[in-house]
Amino acid sequence: MARSKFIFVYITCPKKAVAEKIAKEAVQRKLAACANILPNMQSVYRWQGRVVLDKEIVLILKTRNSLFKGLESLVKRMHPYECPCIVALSVTKGSREYLGWLEAQVFDQS
């Protein structure tokens, strides 16, 4: 199966301010075309041997697959979590106009 040209990168953050800071930096550096910040997510996960319930923020960054490494590096530098959730989801279809806009907004470093 061919690798998708575009991805949405799903990230969880502890606070809205963290998500906003990462989003702004990623878009300014042209590592992401767009960011969506979704507040008030309830997370349940196992961490260091115990089950944790936390409120988190979802950050979705839209970009090219080829930019994932740079984006991941940026998020890791700016994120307070020891092990942040940074997951790329392939975009398999989309409107030609939107994908054209997305492509024009990010700088392909490859």
* pLDDT per position as a tens digit, 5-51: 999 999 999 999 999 999 999 999 999 999 999 999 999 999 999 99
Q: Does domain 9-93 have CATH number 3.40.1260.10?
A: no
Q: Say what the pLDDT of residue 85 is.
A: 97
Spatial distance between the Cα atoms of 49 and 52, rounded to a whole number of angstroms: 9
Rounded to an integer, the average pLDDT of 90-110 is: 88
pTM (2 decimals)? 0.91
Q: Say what the pLDDT of residue 1 is.
A: 44
The per-residue pLDDT of the chain, averaged, comes to: 94
> Two tokens at 3?
């690798």
